[in-house]
Amino acid sequence: MKPNRDASELAARLSTAASKPPALPAAPAQEVPVAPKTTPAPARRAAAPKGRPATDTIGISLRPARTLLQRYTIAAAERTRATGRVVSAQEIMLEQLEQGPS
């Protein structure tokens, strides 16, 4: 292996640094402890559950044909306009599955 041309300079710097004691950090200023104010906390209301109610579901993956997904998406868009809340194509699909075979 070819020696590095700066190896001797590096060795001299390391030897110099090793011979000096390390610098110690300055001692932190001592703080006077302040007693916290003891004011009663305001009464909390019971938090209302957010989101949908928990249901026992299992995640699955479906691969519908493009035309079928487009039909469900259009139906979801129409329901969204009619009800004023966002309805997904997945919700429409689940409704159809819950109805069972016709």
Cβ neighbours for 75, distance < 8 A, ≥ 6 positions apart? 89, 92
Residue 99 domain-assigned (yes or no): yes
pLDDT of 30 reads 72
Overall average pLDDT of the 43-72 stretch: 83
pLDDT of 41 reads 67
| Chain mean pLDDT for the chain | 84
Residue 44 domain-assigned (yes or no): no
**Tally of CA atoms within 13 A in the half-sphere of 76 that contains its CB:** 17
Structural domain span for residue 77 = 61-102
Q: Is the pTM of this model over 0.85?
A: no
Q: Domains in the chain: how many in total?
A: 1
pLDDT of 92 reads 94
